[in-house]
Amino acid sequence: MAGAACRLKGGHLYQLDALIARADPSAWREVAELIRTAGGYRWVGLYVVTDTEIRAVAWTGLTAPAFPRFPREKGLNGVAVGAKASVICQDVSKDFRYLTAFPSTGSEAVFPILSDVGDVVGTIDVESDRRNAFTSDDECFLAECAAKIRPLWKRDQTRTPVGIGPVEREILESLHHSVLCSVEGDRIQGAIERTRHQLRADRNLRIAWETLPLDLFEVLPPSVRSSWVFALRAGATTGAERHPNSHQRVMSVSGEADLQMWEGGTWVSNRLTSRHDAGIAQRWLSIPPDVWHRPVVDPHDDWFVVSFHTTEADQLIEELATNHANPDGALTHASRYVGRRAR
């Protein structure tokens, strides 16, 4: 690993400023990649710290850490959070506090992100496959990065899932126009029919999906990184799920359902219809990252939606709760959609 300069270089500084100014969740992964590239590291992850847990929201490469979320006091991340100070372990095999991220890790460095009042709201986690990999230059560089990218966590803390503001409405109207043009031009009908066939071929399936090429749509907001068709069986509910690394926007294109969101400790109803005369609020739902949601499909017809995400298809994470009545207090299982087409 190359020794990183103690000061952020002008080019890197400009790129970080531009990424931090962006209002979409995909900026998190690009920030992690920029830190990895600038420092010459093998892997970089960004974590959010809550009152009870530490969870990964973005990382470099295609491999997720072994534990994408864990109790607040666990691992070297937990040590850094508790001490409100950086932790550098030059040989993880000799540190009992280490929580495995990758079997090949030799060294790990964790730098806390502090709020305006001094609370730890996140961490930068950097890993190397070599022992004794981190130098004093790395320590200075990562501390500077932690201070520089703090606004990302401030924005994350202040987002709210309730209501459609003017900026969000503009995004949904743009997506609405693009989907209607694609439906009328028969450009997504093939995906709808293929997912419909999956449900008919296997009566045990509750949901099937297929990714859509983004060039099927005339104009898309720059934050959109992937598009999907989901088919949900009539009368089904697929349980509580959330996406920790993506903002999801869903349009009902055939059938009806109640796409509920978990707000304030209860499930809130959001009835979505596919009627052509329905407005944006009746056909679309905007679901911020890490917000629990669950569909309850009407019993008469299968439900088909077009979904847009702010992360790439091979990076999208689905997190499922074991307790659908109260997902906040449940055990969870996280996995990528890549390599799967139904469940």
> Which residues are paired to 254 by β-bridges?
304
Q: How far apart are CA 168 and CA 184, in angstroms?
A: 24
- Contact at 8 Å (CB) between 166 and 147? no
- Contact at 8 Å (CB) between 26 and 59? no
Q: How far apart are CA 105 and CA 164, in angstroms?
A: 44
> Which amino acid is residue 199, in one-letter code?
L
Q: How far apart are CA 13 and CA 15, in angstroms?
A: 5
Q: Where in the chain is the domain with CATH 2.60.120.10?
A: 166-336
Q: How far apart are CA 175 and CA 166, in angstroms?
A: 14
Residue with tokens 């043009």: 181
Which architecture does CATH list for 10-156? 2-Layer Sandwich (3.30)
pLDDT digits (tens, 9 = 90+) for 246-274: 999 999 999 999 999 988 788 888 899 99
Task: Give me 99's structure tokens.
Answer: 């929580």
Task: Give me 320's structure tokens.
Answer: 């499922």
Which residues, including other chains, have CB under 8 Å from residue 18's CB and lie 6 or more apart?
Answer: none
- Contact at 8 Å (CB) between 92 and 107? yes
Q: What is the pLDDT of residue 26?
A: 66
Q: Has residue 235 got a pLDDT over 90?
A: yes
- Contact at 8 Å (CB) between 70 and 125? no
- Distance from the first to the final alpha carbon of the chain: 41
CATH assignment of 166-336?
A: 2.60.120.10
Q: Where in the chain is the domain with CATH 3.30.450.40?
A: 10-156
pLDDT digits (tens, 9 = 90+) for 280-334: 888 999 999 989 999 999 999 999 999 999 999 999 999 998 888 888 877 778 8
pTM summary value: 0.58
Which residues, including other chains, have CB under 8 Å from residue 107's CB and lie 6 or more apart?
Answer: 88, 89, 90, 91, 92, 127, 128, 130, 131, 132, 133, 134
- Contact at 8 Å (CB) between 240 and 292? yes
Query: What letters, b where the CB count within 10 A reaches 16 and e where it falls short, cover 281-298?
Result: ebbbbbbbbbbbbbbbbb
Q: How far apart are CA 126 and CA 334, in angstroms?
A: 21
pLDDT digits (tens, 9 = 90+) for 7-44: 565 567 678 888 887 655 668 888 999 999 999 999 99
Helix (H, G, I), strand (E, B) or coil at 175: helix
pLDDT digits (tens, 9 = 90+) for 134-192: 999 999 999 999 999 998 887 544 333 334 666 788 889 889 988 988 876 688 999 99
- Contact at 8 Å (CB) between 306 and 188? yes
- Contact at 8 Å (CB) between 126 and 59? no
